[in-house]
Amino acid sequence: MDSWLNDLLVFVQANGPWIAPILFVMAFGESLAVVGVLLPFTALIMACGGLIGAGAMDPWPVLLSSIPGAILGDSVSYWLGRWLGLRLLRVPLFRRNRRMLARGRLFFRRYGIASIFLGRFIGPLRASVPLMAGTLRMPQLRFQLANVVSAIVWVPVLLAPGYLAAKGVVWARTQPERWEVVVVLLGLAVLVLLAWYLLRRWLGARS
């Protein structure tokens, strides 16, 4: 734990102004159709969570760059799907990934708007569901609602493991006040309850 935190801390200190643009581009690419499965954004954002937990990084630049990047990545995939329609299967990049697209299409047909939220948390689906939503002409307002809400939940959820792991190291050294533990646990509980509430509403609307 200490080793990778120290390595990342050195990088952040040397490249501080570039962290937000890098995270924006990585979140954008991670959410982009097909391309997203190739990028290590998830590992990077979890590492940033560790730095935030260790007090070496401000969380706001991370959140304010990663969330818009994720929203834009899904939006571009959606618009690409609407523009190409079923012609996308003739595009070499997509033709080579027919199986991934077929899974995304099936998942979208089964869960509708909930698939946009759920797919955000599942690597291969994250790279195909928004594209299929556009291809199958999902109304843009509904898509963007699910897109924005899922991105707002997704980034903090990715930050949480690294944050908690680093906090564990810091707490072991500093013996924190109990209110710090309570605040962290309440924050995680709120995120989980929000995701559960939205999922129930969307699945209920489909039944």
pLDDT tens figures, 72-97: 999 999 999 899 887 877 777 777 77
Question: Using an 8 Å Cβ cutoff, are 115 and 108 in contact?
Answer: yes
Question: Using an 8 Å Cβ cutoff, are 71 and 148 in contact?
Answer: yes
Quote the DSSP letter at residue 97: T
Q: What is the identity of the amino acid at 124?
A: P
- Residues 46, 78, 129, 93, Cα dihedral to 10°: -90
Question: Using an 8 Å Cβ cutoff, are 151 and 63 in contact?
Answer: no
- Residues 197, 198, 199, 200, Cα dihedral to 10°: 50
Q: What average pLDDT does the chain have?
A: 77
The alpha carbon of 146 is separated from its chain's Cα centroid by a whole number of angstroms, namely 13
Percent above pLDDT 90 for the chain: 17
Is the pLDDT reported for residue 69 higher than 90?
yes
Question: Using an 8 Å Cβ cutoff, are 34 and 97 in contact?
Answer: yes
pLDDT bracket for residue 134 (50, 70, 90): very high
pLDDT bracket for residue 6 (50, 70, 90): low
Q: The whole model's pTM is what?
A: 0.75
Residues 39, 30: Cα–Cα separation, whole Å: 6
Is the pLDDT reported for residue 99 higher than 90?
no
Is the pLDDT reported for residue 43 higher than 80?
no
